[in-house]
């Protein structure tokens, strides 16, 4: 039983880290308002932490989104085609998604290396390296690829993060 929890935590690490980033963001922003408006003593490093958490939350959340099926997509046309055509189109889509994400990953990495990598510049106050802040985006792309294929072809792995109020627009009622 204990091992199972471990596996679960490990499989959903992106979601846990992203949620953590969200919680930190909320607290820092809310406390920031209080300190600035009531105590007249603004938090100087607020912006740096916000940027950090925001980027991490978005790129990890996108990966979770693939597994939870929460990415907006237009299903109607494909779902009305015959099954065989759907299958072929499915493979083509896989390759397109893969190529786009790989390209995105490589270019994000190139951008980060060119702008922040060589100078190794950290943020002014907390001295967080920018490569750490933005480094999550190429990594997030890799996670997205894995999440995409796993959720599409082995949905039983992703059960644990199924959203309870998941609304499915493609569930056509007219049958």
Applying the rule CB under 8 A, the residues between 71 and 130 that interact with other proteins are 71-79, 89, 91-104, 106-112, 114-115
* CB 21 within 8 Å of CB 53: yes
> Which C-beta is closer to other proteins: that of 6 or that of 172?
172
Binding mask 129-158 for other proteins (x = CB under 8 A): -----x--x-------xx--xx--xx----
3 state SS of 50: helix
* CB 43 within 8 Å of CB 35: yes
* CB 105 within 8 Å of CB 156: no
Decide: is 49 part of the binding site for other proteins (CB under 8 A).
no
> Which C-beta is closer to other proteins: that of 80 or that of 120?
80
Distance in Å, CB of 147 to other proteins, minimum: 11
Decide: is 164 part of the binding site for other proteins (CB under 8 A).
yes
Q: How far apart are CA 100 and CA 20, in angstroms?
A: 28
Question: Quick one: which of 10, 40, 159, 168 contacts other proteins (CB under 8 A)?
Answer: 168
Question: Quick one: which of 9, 13, 33, 44 contacts other proteins (CB under 8 A)?
Answer: 33
For 103-106, the CB contacts below 8 A with 24+ separation are 104/141, 105/138, 105/141, 105/142, 106/138
């Amino acid at each position: 039983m204990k091992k199972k929890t471990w596996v679960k935590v490990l499989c959903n690490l992106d979601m846990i880290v992203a949620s953590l980033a969200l919680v930190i963001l909320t607290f820092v922003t809310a406390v920031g308002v209080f300190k600035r408006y009531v105590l007249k003593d603004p938090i100087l490093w607020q912006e740096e932490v916000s940027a950090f958490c925001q980027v991490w939350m978005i790129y990890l959340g996108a990966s979770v989104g693939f597994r939870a099926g929460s990415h907006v997509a237009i299903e109607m046309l494909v779902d009305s085609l015959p099954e065989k055509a759907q299958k072929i189109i499915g493979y083509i889509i896989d390759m397109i998604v893969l190529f786009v994400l790989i390209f995105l990953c490589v270019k994000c990495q190139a951008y980060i290396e060119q702008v922040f990598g060589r100078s190794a510049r950290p943020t002014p106050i907390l001295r967080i390296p920018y490569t750490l802040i933005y480094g999550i985006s190429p990594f997030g792309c890799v996670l997205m690829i894995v999440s995409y294929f796993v959720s599409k072809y082995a949905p039983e792995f992703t059960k644990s993060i199924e959203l309870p109020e998941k609304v499915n627009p493609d569930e056509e009622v007219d049958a």
